[in-house]
Amino acid sequence: MKKRSYDSIVIGGGSAGLAAAAEIAGRGYHVAVIERELTLGGILNQCIHNGFGLHYFKEELTGPEYAERMIDMTAHLPGIDFFLDSAVLEVKGPRGGEPRSGAENAEGPLHNGGLVVYGISKHEGITEFTASSIVLAMGCRERNRGNIGIPGTRPAGVFTAGLAQRLVNIDGYVPGKDVVIVGSGDIGLIMARRMTWVGARVHGVVEIQPYPSGLTRNIAQCLNDFNIPLYLSHVVSEIHGSRRVEGVTIMPIEDRHEQSAKSFRLDCDTLLLSVGLVPDNELSRRLGVVLNPETGGPYVDASLMTSVPGVFACGNVLHVHDLVDWVTEESTRCGGNVCDYLAGGKTPWQGAVAAGANVKYVLPNRYAPSRKNVFYLRTLVVKNRALLRATIGGRTLLERRLPHVQPSEMVTFTLGPDAFNGAHGTAGQGGLADGRLEVSIE
Amino acid sequence: MESYDVAIVGAGVTGAAIARRLSAYSLDVALLEKECDVSFGVSKANSGIIHAGFHHSPSSLKARLEVLGNMMYDALQRELHFPFRRCGIVVAAFSIEEMKTVERLYTQGLENKVIGIELCSRDRILSLEPKLNPDVVGGLHAPSGGIIEPYRFVFSLVESACKNGVTLKREFEVVEAEVSRVRRHRFVLRSRSGDAIRTRWVVNAAGLFADEVSRILGGEELKIIPRKGEEFLMDRNAKGYPSRVVFPVPSPDSKGMLVIPTVEGTTMIGPTAVEVEDKEDLRTTLENFERVCSSARRLVPSVSERDIITSFAGLRPTLAGNDFYIAVSKAQPHLIQVAGIQSPGLTASPAIAEYVKDLLKQDGLPLVERPDFDPTIEEVPRLRELDPEEADRLVQANPDYGEVVCRCETVSEAEVVAAIRRGHTTLDGVKFYTRAGMGRCQGGFCTYKTLKIIEREAKLSLGEITKRGEGSFVLGSTVGDLPVGGES
């Protein structure tokens, strides 16, 4: 068994892992990136459509182009080693898997390699990596038929949209000729167009909500331009076919009630599911990282460190983003925090962050009043001219009018030391009336 | 034409156990399966419970073979390496009335000679299973009950049988038979695709289709009624599930809906029990999903719909009277009927095989032990069960162990290759052998990897690979094949 030691190990070589690793290596630390595929870039490689990079690179790129930019910014850095075609089998915290308690967190970084990662590959066998810090950057996975419980038979021909996308764009295989898509998220819409372009007929996109869950431009460019019907407030209530999909029953929902009498059947040989993404936290769980049921990702403090000291998280493993640009921003910042941690900087005083009215979640879950804090939040409501408000103990730190909010579009805002002045007296003394930062949408 | 001493129709757990038992003798045995892989009928969609033997009356053949079968599993596991664990079974009673039924089950269990069976007070049953609904008033504990991966058991039995000379014919659906009264080889069996074999004896272990096979062979009239069971599988990370199989108090025609910790660490809830007409009706429904969830929650309140990763349905092949029918045919000499093998058929299968072997002997089949019979098969190591040192040694010896195909269940390429080399060349076959695609992502990440390994190892084009045999193709065509631009 090979043994290797690093300052930091980044698990996952997609957009999150690359940005974090670039930042860590750029500041002179020795970092390993472990990637299970043969190529870096993660899911971007199969997203051959454009629309990426408008915020971060200020130009429109395809997924593979965005990945290439990230790789170019990272690969040449000294102090960075890539382990491709390598899976992580196990991760262990300090003292054989037992996470240290919060009190011990104050001791600072775990030097001399308190964290252990077991990687496996065909060529190297098992490698035992030890490090003082880990960045979780494993991304997310797709929800599937079982998660949404579509009744009926279990024939071949039911695919998640991302798997279908991979089969078409990377392997060159077409899942079927006559397609129905469940879910109007962006992957589903993109795949409606992609399947049409390879010669399949897309008979409809079925969305349970009364409004589409993907971007408006994708509805126009992926459905309307191809005359693909969008069934809003409808569900697939049954799958037919014993060997291969032969059709689906589609049922309208009116006033939250299923209208089975108004059901109709669409014949198809393929059903694609675009019904949501979930952070892929199996390794985190085994490491003892505490997960947030609202996001599916870890609880993190102001520096994006999880409940296990030295273990950080960024990108879609932390929460599912809608734009890769935000993944890059968040992960670069995470890499910087890892460097601060490795340098043994004293952890500043942190207060709790809570989701207030109409907010599904706010990340990170702690704030540090002495620093600049970048927050991401998702709303629970669709609203025009919404008011974003951040308060501590009844005192308003930030109020901002947003033209439009909806659950599928992430909201971001920043609070610097200026905003906290006066709200706390002197930061770091604790014991203040109520240090809880509450964020609401009104 | 190939000639056999015995042809077994049906490679489910019953047929497979009989084939494996007969492989210990110097006989020519054919095992005929209509599907593209063994266990793909009744045996694959099954609760995977090794029953303890208290559910059936001592006068039934079921009870006798159930208790005998249960006791044979430890030795079989040592030889055949299938996932099996004696986790124990509890029956939870929620009223004084239900407790009376539990007492009757206890007495029945004693009469059936169930090992270790005990009556439990409320305190006792809650100390055994703290996750039970605290409204429980008492119950039954049978430590000899267990759990198994049923398809893996069938795969192992068939592998062992074939190793000892049994001929397996997949996609051999018996559609026609000629019966001669004069020839030594009494039967000629013809398949749908036109193949034919001769055989002296036929064992009808055709599960749901035992009635049709009996008719084709000129046997007595049987009527198999499919009784559907829907089950739901929970994520292995789901918290708060019991460590033993938890039964409710049974009704006259069903053992009820259970909470089943599977041998691989997931949890299953179900099954329903509804008689259906169609022998291929494997649909699941929303109503039954809700029924199963609420029944399971009555037993174990922490059961959560959010943890469900997939559902499936199976059909029990039931006969009127609800007992097994295992006998030399009354209508057709040299035909052994093994019909109505529903629960506890899996538990009883090794004992059924013993019983059928005796019936064949009484019917005149000479049994001479094969001197070179080898009861063991090769154990294929599973990456997820190894510690890092062991895994490292394995990768050095076989680099395919270093490639993780299924991340949810930690399945290596070497295990997928082992499945394919044993004839499991469909996506479902690979899944049942290795567990690749059985975890929480349900194949979202590993399907393309598995397809490519099947393509390479089985020398099939990607377009030829199926989910589970004829008609269940996975991919339609390649990019560029379809006409583009509004052709209808």
Q: Which pLDDT value is given to residue A113?
A: 54
Q: Which pLDDT value is given to residue A256?
A: 84
The packing angle between helices B427-434 and B413-421, to 10°, is 120
Minimum Cα–Cα distance from B446: chain A residue: A163
SS3 A98: coil
- Cβ(A428)–Cβ(A371) below 8 Å: no
Contacts of A244 in chain B (CB under 8 A): 471-473
Other Cβ atoms less than 10 A from the Cβ of B450: the count is 25
Task: Tell me which of A275, A296, A327 is where a domain ends.
Answer: A275
Q: What percent of chain A has pLDDT over 70?
A: 93
ipTM, interface predicted TM-score of the complex = 0.91
DSSP annotation of A12:
-
In angstroms, the CA A132 to CA A128 distance is 14
User: Residue A353, class by beta-carbon neighbours within 10 Å (0-12 exposed, 13-18 middle, 19+ buried)?
Assistant: buried
Contacts of B396 in chain A (CB under 8 A): 125
For an interface test with A, give the residue of B431, B452, B477, B484 to mutate (most A CBs within 10 A). B477
| Half-sphere exposure of residue B313: CA atoms within 13 angstroms, side-chain side | 28
- Cβ(B259)–Cβ(B245) below 8 Å: yes
Minimum Cα–Cα distance from A129: chain B residue: B388
In angstroms, the CA B154 to CA B165 distance is 17
Higher pLDDT, B253 or A426: B253
- Cβ(B236)–Cβ(B299) below 8 Å: no
Which residues 361-400 of chain A have a CB within 8 Å of chain B?
Answer: none
Structure tokens at B144: 């000899």
Q: Mean pLDDT across the stretch A391-415? A: 92
Q: How far is B46 from chain A (nearest CA, A)?
A: 15
SS3 A96: coil
CATH at residue A165: 3.50.50.60
Contacts of A123 in chain B (CB under 8 A): 399, 402
A137 and A10 together in one domain: yes
DSSP annotation of A78:
T
With CB atoms and an 8 Å threshold, state whether B476 touches A175. yes
Q: Which pLDDT value is given to residue A98?
A: 45
- Residue range of the domain that includes A207: 144-275
For A269, which of B388, B442, B476 is closest by C-beta distance? B476
pLDDT, tens digit (0-9, with 9 covering 90-100), for A19-44: 999 999 999 999 999 999 999 999 99
- Interchain contact B171–A (C-beta under 8 A): no
Q: Which pLDDT value is given to residue A95?
A: 52
Q: Which pLDDT value is given to residue B485?
A: 62
In angstroms, the CA A16 to CA A326 distance is 10
Sign of CA dihedral A205, A209, A214, A219: positive
Minimum Cα–Cα distance from B279: chain A residue: A242
Q: Which of A9, A184, A177, A176 is nearest to A82 (CA)?
A: A9
Higher pLDDT, A178 or B238: A178
Q: Which pLDDT value is given to residue A377?
A: 96
- Cβ(B281)–Cβ(B268) below 8 Å: no
Q: Which amino acid is at A343?
A: A
Q: How far is A153 from chain B (nearest CA, A)?
A: 4
- Is residue A431 over pLDDT 50? no
Measured in whole angstroms, the distance separating CA A90 from the mean position of its chain's CA atoms is: 21
Helix (H) or strand (E) holding A92: strand A86-92
Contacts of B485 in chain A (CB under 8 A): 199
With CB atoms and an 8 Å threshold, state whether A173 touches B479. yes
Task: Tell me which of A240, A275, A310 is where a domain ends.
Answer: A275
Q: How far is A216 from chain B (nearest CA, A)?
A: 25
Q: Which long-range contacts (CB under 8 A, 24 or more apart) does A26-29 make?
A: A26/A77, A26/A335, A27/A336, A27/A339, A28/A79, A29/A79, A29/A338, A29/A339, A29/A342
Other Cβ atoms less than 10 A from the Cβ of A294: the count is 15
- Is residue A327 over pLDDT 80? yes
φ/ψ (deg, to 5) at B377: -120, 165
pLDDT, tens digit (0-9, with 9 covering 90-100), for A220-239: 999 999 999 999 999 999 99
Q: pTM for the full model?
A: 0.93
- Interchain contact A403–B (C-beta under 8 A): no
With CB atoms and an 8 Å threshold, state whether A151 touches B289. yes
- Interchain contact B386–A (C-beta under 8 A): no
CATH at residue A416: 2.60.40
In angstroms, the CA A436 to CA A350 distance is 10
Which residues 120-179 of chain A have a CB within 8 Å of chain B?
Answer: 120-126, 128, 141-142, 144-147, 149, 151-157, 159-160, 162-163, 166-168, 170-177
A116 and A240 together in one domain: no
A319 and A259 together in one domain: no
Q: B181 CB contacts (<8 Å, ≥6 apart)?
A: none
A284 and A360 together in one domain: no
- Is residue A13 over pLDDT 50? yes
Q: How far is B176 from chain A (nearest CA, A)?
A: 24
Q: Mean pLDDT across the stretch A381-406? A: 92
In angstroms, the CA A115 to CA A104 distance is 15
Q: Which pLDDT value is given to residue B154?
A: 98
| Half-sphere exposure of residue A21: CA atoms within 13 angstroms, side-chain side | 35
A297 and A265 together in one domain: no
Work out the pLDDT band at A103, boundaries 50, 70, 90: very low
With a cut of 70, list the residues of chain B below it in pLDDT: 253, 485-488
Minimum Cα–Cα distance from B391: chain A residue: A126
Q: How far is A356 from chain B (nearest CA, A)?
A: 24
A323 and A211 together in one domain: no
In angstroms, the CA B386 to CA B483 distance is 50
With CB atoms and an 8 Å threshold, state whether B476 touches A124. no
Helix (H) or strand (E) holding A104: helix A102-105
With CB atoms and an 8 Å threshold, state whether B311 touches A149. yes
Q: Mean pLDDT across the stretch A197-214? A: 93
Q: Mean pLDDT across the stretch A253-268? A: 93
Q: Which pLDDT value is given to residue A65?
A: 98
With CB atoms and an 8 Å threshold, state whether A173 touches B470. no
Q: How many domains does chain A have?
A: 3
A39 and A130 together in one domain: yes
User: Residue B241, class by beta-carbon neighbours within 10 Å (0-12 exposed, 13-18 middle, 19+ buried)?
Assistant: buried
With CB atoms and an 8 Å threshold, state whether A123 touches B399. yes
Tell me the CA end-to-end span of chain A in Å, nearest whole number: 57
Contacts of A155 in chain B (CB under 8 A): 467, 472
Q: How far is B318 from chain A (nearest CA, A)?
A: 22
In angstroms, the CA B359 to CA A379 distance is 70
- Interchain contact B308–A (C-beta under 8 A): yes
In angstroms, the CA A118 to CA B386 distance is 12
DSSP annotation of A160:
E
- Is residue A347 over pLDDT 90? no
Q: Which of B139, B356, B432, B315 is nearest to A242 (CA)?
A: B315
Contacts of A145 in chain B (CB under 8 A): 310, 442
In angstroms, the CA B288 to CA B269 distance is 11
A10 and A136 together in one domain: yes
Contacts of A243 in chain B (CB under 8 A): 467-472
A213 and A264 together in one domain: yes
Q: Which pLDDT value is given to residue A319?
A: 98
pLDDT, tens digit (0-9, with 9 covering 90-100), for B300-341: 999 988 888 889 999 999 999 889 999 999 999 999 999 999
- Cβ(B470)–Cβ(B82) below 8 Å: no
User: Residue B97, class by beta-carbon neighbours within 10 Å (0-12 exposed, 13-18 middle, 19+ buried)?
Assistant: exposed
Q: How far is B154 from chain A (nearest CA, A)?
A: 22
Q: B179 CB contacts (<8 Å, ≥6 apart)?
A: B186, B187, B217, B218, B332
Domains with residue ranges and CATH for chain B: 2-44+150-223+321-362 (3.50.50.60), 84-147+225-317 (3.30.9.10), 383-464 (1.10.10.1100)
Minimum Cα–Cα distance from A239: chain B residue: B283
With CB atoms and an 8 Å threshold, state whether A173 touches B477. yes
A176 and A241 together in one domain: yes
- Interchain contact B402–A (C-beta under 8 A): yes
Q: Which pLDDT value is given to residue A235?
A: 96
Query: The tokens 């691989």 sit on which residue?
Result: B264
Minimum Cα–Cα distance from B475: chain A residue: A175
- Cβ(B214)–Cβ(B329) below 8 Å: yes
Q: Which pLDDT value is given to residue A434?
A: 57
Q: How far is A422 from chain B (nearest CA, A)?
A: 44
Q: Which amino acid is at A126?
A: I
Contacts of A283 in chain B (CB under 8 A): none
With CB atoms and an 8 Å threshold, state whether A238 touches B283. yes
With CB atoms and an 8 Å threshold, state whether B473 touches A156. yes
pLDDT, tens digit (0-9, with 9 covering 90-100), for A46-83: 999 999 999 999 999 999 999 999 999 999 999 999 99
A58 and A149 together in one domain: no
What would the 3-class secondary structure string for chain B be?
A: CEEEEEEEECCCHHHHHHHHHHCCECCCEEEECCCCCCCCCHHHCCCCEECCCCCCCCCCHHHHHHHHHHHCHHHHHHHHCCCEECCCEEEEECCHHHHHHHHHHHHHHHHCCCCCCEEEEHHHHHHHCCCCCCCCCEEEEECCCEEECHHHHHHHHHHHHHHCCCEEECCCCEEEEEECCCCCCCEEEEECCCCEEEEEEEEECCHHHHHHHHHHCCCCCCCCEEEEEEEEEECCCCCCCCCCEEECCCECCECCCEEEECCCCCEEEECCCEECCCCCCCCECHHHHHHHHHHHHHHCCCCCHHHEEEEEEEEEEECCCCCCEEEECCCCCCEEEEECCCCCHHHHHHHHHHHHHHHHHHCCCCCCECCCCCCCCCCCCCHHHCCHHHHHHHHHHCHHHHCEEECCCCEEHHHHHHHHHCCCCCHHHHHHHHCCCCCCCCCCCCHHHHHHHHHHHCCCCHHHCECCCCCCECCCEECCCCCCCCCC
Active-site residue set of B: 51
- Is residue A105 over pLDDT 70? no
Q: Give the DSSP letter string of A244-309.
A: B--EEEEEEEETTEE-GGG-EEEE-SEEEE---EEE--HHHHHHT--B-TTTSSB---TTSB-SST
- Interchain contact B445–A (C-beta under 8 A): yes
Structure tokens at A67: 């990945």
SS3 A432: coil
Work out the pLDDT band at A101, boundaries 50, 70, 90: very low
SS3 A324: helix
- Is residue A423 over pLDDT 80? no
In angstroms, the CA A284 to CA A91 distance is 8
A335 and A359 together in one domain: no
